[in-house]
């Protein structure tokens, strides 16, 4: 049973002491492929570096809402993103990009500006997008629709909206990233969404080192913990764990444009 972790942050300092040892062990085991996702400028560069070092690690490059103020002062970084997306075969997506309204900062108009700009870039280089959207459903949908996101598709990372909203993202050609939150006791809303999302549109993710599933909640997360998510999802969907792993692996390869042989 090979597993595809579609969203990880192994460049994070939480892995500084054992990064290479851990990744070597994971990739020698049942983790078949990992996409390391950039969130900051430094994170994007580190993701590209990791992808160049490991055959089965790929990179996504993009700026997270938390870093939009810095991007606003370093707009030439978009040229670097464009160049990597066009010329580096290990770069498979633009992300993570989007909106985060949980806090008041960065200012919302600035967030919308840089989300739209990066979505435009993704269309230009014909790469799928990885969308970070927290407490910003309506504006996220508006920008995706206005930015022709349906032409490139992508993943709604750490899907957190209602089951009723699933169809809107589905119709825009998006896949749904599901991770450790599915195992939390207070995850009823996500469980209800997972019940209605077709299995052929679900991809698995860790968001590591964050969001470790039960029974490891609160600890450093890594790709091996996806097994707990698979177990929960298999229970929800009424299929085997092997079926969940196989279908989500194929889904991830499809959205990222990779060879589906496991």
Please give the full DSSP string across 60-87, using - where no structure is assigned. Answer: EE---GGGHHHHHH-TTHHHHHHHHHHH
pLDDT at 261: 54
pLDDT tens track for 47-62: 999 999 999 999 999 9
pTM summary value: 0.97
For domain 3-256, give the CATH number.
3.20.20.140
- The residue among 259, 258, 260, 256 whose CA lies nearest residue 129 is 256
> pLDDT digits over 6-18, tens only?
999 999 999 999 9
Q: What mean pLDDT is reported for the chain? A: 97
For the stretch 61-92, pLDDT in tens is: 999 999 999 999 999 999 999 999 999 999 99
Q: What is the pLDDT of residue 259?
A: 84
Q: What is the pLDDT of residue 82?
A: 98
Instruction: For residues 141 and 130, give the distance between their C-alpha atoms in angstroms, rounded to a whole number.
Output: 14
Model pLDDT for residues 196-216, shown as the tens digit of each residue: 999 999 999 999 999 999 999
pLDDT above 60: residue 262: no
d(CA 23, CA 254): 23
């Amino acid at each position: 049973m090979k597993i595809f972790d579609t969203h990880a942050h192994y460049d994070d300092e939480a892995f500084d002491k054992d990064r290479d040892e851990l990744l070597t062990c994971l990739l020698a085991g049942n983790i078949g492929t990992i996409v390391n996702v950039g969130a900051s400028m430094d994170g994007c560069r580190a993701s590209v570096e990791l992808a160049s070092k490991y055959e089965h690690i790929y990179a996504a490059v993009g700026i997270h809402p938390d870093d939009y103020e810095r991007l606003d002062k370093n707009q030439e970084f978009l040229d670097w993103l464009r160049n990597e997306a066009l010329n580096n075969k290990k770069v498979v997506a633009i992300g993570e990009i989007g909106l985060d309204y949980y806090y008041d900062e960065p200012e919302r108009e600035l967030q919308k500006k840089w989300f739209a700009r990066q979505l435009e870039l993704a269309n230009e280089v014909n790469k799928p997008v990885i969308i970070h959207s927290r407490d910003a459903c309506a504006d996220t949908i508006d920008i995706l629709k206005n930015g022709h996101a349906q032409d490139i598709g992508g993943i709604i990372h750490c899907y957190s909206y209602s089951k009723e909203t699933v169809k809107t993202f589905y119709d825009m050609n998006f896949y749904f990233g599901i991770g450790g939150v599915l195992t939390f006791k207070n995850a009823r809303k996500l469980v209800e969404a997972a019940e209605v999302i077709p299995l052929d549109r679900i991809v698995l993710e860790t968001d590591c080192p964050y969001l470790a599933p039960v029974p490891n909640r609160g600890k450093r997360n890594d790709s091996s913990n996806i097994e707990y998510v698979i177990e929960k999802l298999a229970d929800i969907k009424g299929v085997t764990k092997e079926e969940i792993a196989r279908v989500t692996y194929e889904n991830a390869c499809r959205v990222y444009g990779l060879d589906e042989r496991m």
